[in-house]
Structure 1
Amino acid sequence: MLTKMYRVFFYVLVGTIFVISKCCDATMESNNTAPVLFIFGDSTADVGTNSFLPKTKIIANVPFNGIDFPNSRATGRFSNGFNSADFLAKLMGHKRSPQPYLFLLKAGLRKKMFRGVNFASGGAGLLDVTGKDLKIVPMSKQVKQFKTVLSNLMVVKGRHEAKKIIRKSVFAISVGSNDIFGYFQNQSTVDPTVFIESLMEAYQCHIESLYHLGARKFGIIGIPPIGCCPSQRIHNTTGGCFEIENTFARAFHSSLDALLNKLSCELKGMKYSHGNSYEMTMNVINHAQQFSEYYAILMLFIFIFVKVV
C-alpha cells in the first residue's frame, strides 16, 4: 500500500511539473538551450537552502533524506531523492535544480547564479509570519535575494543584456501550504475568506515584485490536498483526511487562478502556467484501483488544469 501511494504522488508530481514546464517551451525551441531557472518556495522545492541557516532546526541534510539520491547523499532536500524543483529543471533541459542561493554566495560562485538559482526554503510561506520562529527564509526575503542576483548580473553583463536574460528566464513558485498549516496550528480566529484574501495579497505582491525586476514567465505549482498529509490526518479521529484543510486548499487554488488571470491582463508580457496539483492528486487517490502504472501518467495529463496566457 505504501509503495502504491509513493507511485501516486510521483505521478502527480510529474504531471504537475510537465505542465509547468510548458511555459518555457518557446524559449527552448528558439534557443535550443535550457532556459535560466529561478525557483522560489518551501520544502517542496528546497534543495539545501536550510542547510546554510545556522539558527534553524528545519533541515534535511541528515539520513534518511536522500537515500535514493545519487550515492544516497542527504543534500538538504526534504525528500528521499530528487524533488519537484529537480524534476522541473530536468524537464527544462537541466541536469537537476540550480544550486541554493546561499551555497553559491558562500562558495564564491556568484557567476554560476547566472545559470539559475534556487531560493526555496523549507518552512517558508507567503506571509512573513509563517515560519518566523523557525528562522527560515520567507518569500519576501527570497525575492530580495533574487534582486541581489539581478544586481550582480547587471554588473557582469550590463543592464540591457541582464534584462534580456531575465525576460527569457522561468520563475517557478511552489508555496502556500505552510501558511494554511500555520492557520490551524495557531488556532487562528481570522475569517477563512479574509485569510485566503491575505494570502492572495501576499502572492500578488511577490509576483509583482518579480515582474518589476524583469520576470515575465511564471510557473506556479498549486497546493495539493494538504489535509491528506499523514501529519494532518492525525487531526481526524477516523484517520481520514483533515477535510477542513482541503477546503482551504481548494479555495486557495480558485483564488490564485483568478489572481493569475487578473495579473496577466494587467502586467504586460506576463505569461504563466498554473498546475492544479489538488485535482490531480485527488483524482488518482479516489480512483487508484482504476489506474495502471502507465495509464496513471496519461490520466494525470488529461485531468490537469492549466491556464496558459
Structure 2
Amino acid sequence: MAYNFSQMNSFFFFLLFVFCFNFSDAQKVPAMYVFGDSLVDVGNNNYLKISLAKADFRHNGIDFPGGTPTGRFSNGKNAADFIAEKVGFVASPPPYLSLVSKSSNSDAFPITGVSFASGGAGIFDGTDELFKQSIPLNRQVVHYTTVYDDLVQQLGSSAAQVHLSKSLFTVVIGSNDMFEFFKSDSDLAKRTTPQQYVDSMVLALKRVLKRMHYFGARKYVITGIGAVGCCPSQRNQTTEECNEEANTWSVKYNEGLKTMLQGLKSELKGMEYSYVDVYKVFARFIETPSTYGFTEVKSACCGLGNLKAQIPCVPISTYCFNRRNHVFWDLYHPTEAAARIFVDTVFYGTQPFAIPMNVNQLITA
C-alpha cells in the first residue's frame, strides 16, 4: 500500500489540533482577530513612524493597568479589550506591527489572534489625510493574509480552517469615512451625494468581508457607525448640539450595512455574524445618561477650549478627574466606562442592539 506523506502530515496536524490544542475553560474561542480604527487600536499606530494619529503620550492610558499610554485612544481599555475579556482572554490580541517589528520570521504570530486595527483607518484608503498615515482596512486584510499563511504552516490547512471557523473576527470601521465626508473643507460632498457615498462604503466593506471569508473567516462581529454627529468635535462646530446631518447619514449607512449582511450570509458558506448597533447604544447614553451613571455627554474629558474639543487630548491638555461620569474621553473616542457598558450591552443583549444574535450567541453558533 502506497502512503501519501503529505496527506498524512496534514491529517496528523488536524488530529493534533482537535485533540491536543485545548484552550482554557474560560476561553470561548481559539483566537480573535481585530480589524478597524482608533476605537479598537491597541497600539499599531505606535509603529508608524510619521503618523500623527497616535495615543502614545499622556494622558492616554491614565486608567490602564500601569497607568501608562499604550497606543489606545482612551483613558483605559477600549472595546477590543472588553470583548477579549468576555471571550476569556487575559488581554487583547497584540498589534500586528509590534510582532513584525520584533522578528523577520513569520512564526512571530500567536495562534490566539492578532489585532490589525489602526487609528485613522477607514473603509476607503485615504481617509487619514488629516493624520498623514494609518493602516486602511484593505491593507489590514493584506496583513491578515500573512498571518493566515503562517497559521497554515503551523497547523496544516485542515486544522487551520477548523481553527479559523471557530475564531472571532471583529470589524469596527466606518467613522473616519463619515468624518471625511462631513468635514467643512471636504471635496467629497462636491463630487458625490451622501446616498451615493454611504452606498459605496457598504459595497467596499462587502468586498473586504468576502476576501476575509476566502481566508477562513466565518464568525464576524461587525459594528455600525455610532452617533458621530454628537461627539465633542462635531458639537464644537455648532452651538454644542449634535450634527444631525452626520447622524442621519450614519443611520442610513447602518441600514444599508444590515441589508448587505443579510444578503452576504446567504451568499457565503458558513458565515455567521452579529451586527452590533453602536448608534443605538450611544444614543441611549446621550438621551438617558443617568441610567448608565453618566453626567456629562457633551464635553470631552481630556482636551482644551470649548467642550475640551478645540485642542485635542495632548500632554498640555487638562483632563477630568471623574472619568466614569463622561461618555467621551477626547474629541472622538469614548471613555473606558462607556466602552465597557457598550460591550456589556451587545455581548449579551437582545435586538435592536445586536442582530440577528448577540456576540455570545455568535460564539456558540
TM-score range, shorter chain: 0.7 to 0.9
Question: Residues 69 and 292 from structure 1, CA distance in 2 versus in 1: closer, same or farther, beyond 3 angstroms?
Answer: closer
Q: Letter of the aligned partner of 2:125 in structure 1?
A: D
Determine helix, strand or coil for the equivalent of 1:142: helix
Counterpart-to-counterpart distance in 2, 1:51 and 1:172: 21
- Unaligned residue ranges in structure 2 (runs of 5+): 1-22, 295-340, 358-364
Question: Is residue 318 of structure 2 the alignment partner of residue 307 of structure 1?
Answer: no
Please list the CA deviations of residues 197-227 of structure 1 after superposition, one character each: whole Å capped at 9, or x if unmatched: 1101111011000001111000012211010
Question: Is residue 275 of structure 2 the alignment partner of residue 278 of structure 1?
Answer: no
Alignment counterpart, residue 96 of structure 1, candidates 88, 91, 105: 91
Alignment counterpart, residue 144 of structure 1, candidates 142, 153, 165: 142
Alignment counterpart, residue 101 of structure 2, candidates 99, 106, 126: 106
Please list the CA deviations of residues 250-280 of structure 1 after superposition, one character each: whole Å capped at 9, or x if unmatched: 0111111001101001111100001111112
Question: Residues 291 and 170 from structure 1, CA distance in 2 versus in 1: closer, same or farther, beyond 3 angstroms?
Answer: closer
Tell me what 1:17 maps to.
none
TM-score of the superposed pair, with normalisation by structure 2: 0.72
Question: Residues 32 and 299 from structure 1, CA distance in 2 versus in 1: closer, same or farther, beyond 3 angstroms?
Answer: closer
How many aligned positions are there? 280
> Could you say which structure has the greater relative contact order, defined with CA pairs below 8 angstroms and 6 or more residues apart?
1
Question: Is residue 74 of structure 2 the alignment partner of residue 73 of structure 1?
Answer: no
Counterpart-to-counterpart distance in 2, 1:80 and 1:32: 26
Counterpart-to-counterpart distance in 2, 1:50 and 1:306: 31
Contact persistence 1:101–1:113 (CA under 8 A): no
Rg larger for? 2
Contact persistence 2:224–2:275 (CA under 8 A): yes
1:175 positional shift: 0.4
Alignment of 1:287-302 (within 5 A): 287-289=288-290, 301=349
Determine helix, strand or coil for the equivalent of 1:72: coil
Please list the CA deviations of residues 41-79 of structure 1 after superposition, one character each: whole Å capped at 9, or x if unmatched: 000000000000102111111101100011101001111
Contact persistence 2:109–2:147 (CA under 8 A): no
Tell me what 1:53 maps to.
48
TM-score of the superposed pair, with normalisation by structure 1: 0.84
Q: Letter of the aligned partner of 1:217 in structure 2?
A: K
Determine helix, strand or coil for the equivalent of 2:66: helix
1:150 positional shift: 0.6
- Unaligned residue ranges in structure 1 (runs of 5+): 1-27
1:290 positional shift: 5.2
Question: Is residue 78 of structure 2 the alignment partner of residue 83 of structure 1?
Answer: yes
RMSD of equivalent CA atoms: 2.4
Tell me what 1:200 maps to.
202
Counterpart-to-counterpart distance in 1, 2:92 and 2:26: 20
Tell me what 1:7 maps to.
none
Question: Residues 128 and 291 from structure 1, CA distance in 2 versus in 1: closer, same or farther, beyond 3 angstroms?
Answer: closer
Structure with more of its chain in helix, by fraction: 1
